[in-house]
Structure 1
Amino acid sequence: MKTVKNMLLIMGVGVLSSCSHDLDRNNVRSNSGISSAITSSNITQSNNTRTNKTSKTNKNAIKLTPLLRFDVSKYIIEIAKEKTDDWMNRKSSIPAVSMSQPTKKQDTTDYPKIIKDEFETTANFKNKVSDQVQLKKEKMQFLELEYQKELEQYKKIVKEYELNTQEEKNQRLARKKTVYTDYVIESIESILGVPAVKDLTYNADLSVFSATLYSKLSNFRKDILINVPIEIAPEFKENAAYLLPDVEFQINTNDDSVFIFKMSVVFRGNVYPAKVINQKAFSLR
């Protein structure tokens, strides 16, 4: 299997949240309740996916927080790559050329054998032979003309087929990043599941909750801080089970690591900024 690094150099990865999300019906369909999106300086979502923010990883300007362990990250990337390759190499939707390549036709006419009669002049005999030769020549010319017409038609059909298949290939190449994006999202959603928040402890002086961001399907855990005004803090903690974390992440192209790029927590329609405390990175190489 090819190395993961080469594939990641041009890709970014996106968002994990608790909202619903429908993937492109031609690509993937999510079975979980998470909303996800890929972010990259040069990648956009397909029409059937949610539009998301884009961002470029800058090692010197941004501190990124790792989301996944090495083995889980590699699994997600490899599965997405394999599915994308299958999508790229799937059977063409262009009908195959049904016309067989024409072949040169042979004159199958049963010409009578010309024999000089005893009472026939030589000149007359030669005229009959000459007439038959001319007839054969005209028949071969006709067959050649028919062959060239069929060959021209065949070449036209083949050319049209080649143009259509190339156009299909170009369209697939144009959508490859979006399709890859959708498959990464599907893999993340199926492996990590719906994110949730627990173990909330409030610091009234800083107006900040310390809490644990975790996955309901895996052993993923991260210590986080959530900025919440003191007047809403008691109600916020009381309804911890209903908090909706929205996690945006991406692949750092400098070292092929998966990071939490940005996150927030949604409560009763309001968005509260949050961040991950642990800054340790896990490489995919």
Structure 2
Amino acid sequence: MVEQMVNPGLTDFEFFKIILPGSSRTKLKLPDKFARELAGRELRDAKLRVAGAGRRLWDVEVVADDADGEVYLGRGWQQFACAHDLRGGHFLVFRYDGAAVFTVTVFDGTMCRREYRRQRDDDDAGSGSSSGDGDSAAGAGAAGDDAASSQFAVTLRQCNLGKKQAQYLNVPVEFQDAHGYVKRRRVALRMRGETWYVNLKHSRRAQARGQRTALRYGWHQFCVDNGLAVGDTCFFRVVREGDLRRGGEDHVLKVAVRKADGTPLE
């Protein structure tokens, strides 16, 4: 049965998953912390919706393994994954509303949010079927239900973690343009209840296509304080836009990290 009562402790609970190459397409393991938060509550059926693709809901079974305490998305997950062309390397952010609905935001190999075509009103009115019909599924490439992406993800490389004077992290062009980074001087990175201020460095893009922005001075300290290493994946989300008239210095990004071995950094 579907959980009817909203659990205040789970409302707007967020977590992320990385689709690993060769991983099972028939089920998706949910984080252990989320399973613990469920604390044995009755949740056998849930619904998935993709951010930016309208109100269509996809039925999915929630399976609890009593032997090891793990919780999976089972029946229905494969149809959802196929319909939205989820592949190895994609980065998925789940937000649970506390009442059996997950909103899923998808990031692809460009490190930016994937946009899906909105469903027609007649599709929006009902729940998704288990057939996974590609004609009625959301397609990538068209505009979503909000402005340009407010989130991006980066898997760290050596250039992001080199010598202190040379460390930097390029901001995806689509993200920087959407949030006016050319006019900003610094951003605040918020993680685990603490805040780090990082100056932005602007440089010319190739072929005179405008400026490129990177997280620069202060990025090194953020990496050191949080023990970041090559292969870790950082997820950035705007939580405060900031006033561009004052240089946008109150622009805040919330950061979550998944270590290279797959464990979340909490």
Q: Which TM-score applies when normalising by structure 1?
A: 0.26
Relative contact order: is structure 1 or structure 2 higher (C-alpha 8 Å, sep ≥ 6)? 1
In terms of fraction of residues, the more strand-rich structure is 2
Larger radius of gyration: 1
In terms of fraction of residues, the more helix-rich structure is 1
Q: Which TM-score applies when normalising by structure 2?
A: 0.27
